[in-house]
Amino acid sequence: MSQTTFRENSNGFRGTIFIRIAVGLIFFTQGILKYTDAKLGVERFARIGFPYPAFTAHFVGTLEIVCGLLVLAGLWTRIAAVPLRVIICKAIVTTKIPELTRAGLGFWFMVSDARTDFAMLMCLLSSWSRGDGHLVLRHTQTVKGKNTKARLLAAYR
């Protein structure tokens, strides 16, 4: 018999759950949009200049959905934050930095436009450094009358 429960993690900072909710939901929804809205998916990746924009948009969308859900649930948060950091850094480099050289835009426009990406990057760094925090989803399994808890990546705690 097995059950999935939430448990308190005594090693974490209580506010970590709010960061996890924000990061998880934002990446999850952005991943879905890469599949459902061509302007935010394939067309955008083609406009930016990615090779194989359909594959790249769907690959990135899948990573955002899966890793966003993992962060949201508090499972493998540190590992899930790594590809999300790569995605957000690539987004900053390919969409925000070029604004510095566009006529009429410049530094302050770029700073204003990049504030959400910067905040997401900082939240991802926080999630990566602090781990799962409080209220993490855990799987409990009973084996031959013994109640054993699956400790996921205990070395990262």
For the chain, the domains span 13-135
- DSSP 8-state secondary structure symbol assigned to residue 107: H
In the numeric block, the tokens 């950091």 are attached to 85
What type of residue is 33?
L
Rounded Cα distance, 100 and 79, in Å:
32
Token representation of residue 15: 């506010």
pLDDT at 129: 79
pLDDT at 140: 47
Neighbours of 63 (CB within 10 A): 18
Structure tokens at 152: 């996921």
Strand partners, 141: 2, 148
Answer yes or no: are the C-beta atoms of 91 and 117 closer than 8 Å.
yes
Regions in the chain scoring below 50 on pLDDT: 6, 9, 139-141, 151-157
Q: What is the pLDDT of residues 36-81, one digit of tens each?
A: 999 989 999 999 999 999 999 999 999 999 999 999 988 888 899 9
What is the pTM assigned to this prediction? 0.74
Task: Output the pLDDT for position 91.
Answer: 92
Q: What is the pLDDT of residue 100?
A: 86
Contact in structure between 137 and 6 (CB atoms under 8 Å): yes
